[in-house]
Copies of this chain bind each other. A is one copy, B any other.
Amino acid sequence: MVDQPLWEQIGSSFVQHYYQLFDSDRTQLGSIYTDTSCLTWEGQQFQGKNDIVEKLTSLPFSKIAHSITAQDHQPTPDCCILSMVVGQLKADNDPIMGFHQSFILKNVNDSWVCTNDMFRLAIHNFG
């Protein structure tokens, strides 16, 4: 069995940790962002852990469960990690929806933080 490359281990641990926090208590998500992190949530832009957590905790649902369909990880030229997730989520009693999310992870003071986060629901006007 071939060991996973380090960026895949780090990326997949991050992804698992992120959705676990998100689904159990998203007020705790501040720990993964920095004061310069960027979030684009359905096209709306936020910067800094405070604004990001305020946005995430104000989302209008009380219960949410994410399920990951596929995740990919790559090293970037600047020693960061790019992670991309395709999955499904169920918020309260809404129907299951597809979502897409991309993260850049950077090593700062010996821990991995999320500098960039982009989220979109998979809503298309098919036709």
Stretch at the interface among A19-27, A35-43, A55-63: A35-43
Total contacting residues, chain A, CB less than 8 A: 34
| Majority secondary structure, A binding face | strand
In the assembled complex, which residues on chain B have CB atoms less than 8 Å from the CB atom of A126?
88, 96
Could you say which of B84, B96, B123 contacts A120, with CB atoms under 8 Å apart?
B84
Measured CB to CB, the closest approach of chain B to A52, in angstroms, equals 12
Whether A115 pairs with B76 at a CB distance below 8 angstroms is yes
Whether A122 pairs with B122 at a CB distance below 8 angstroms is yes
Question: Interface on A for B, CB 8 Å cutoff?
Answer: 36, 38, 40, 43, 45, 69-70, 72, 74-78, 80, 82, 84, 86-88, 96, 98, 100, 102, 104, 106, 115-116, 118, 120, 122-126
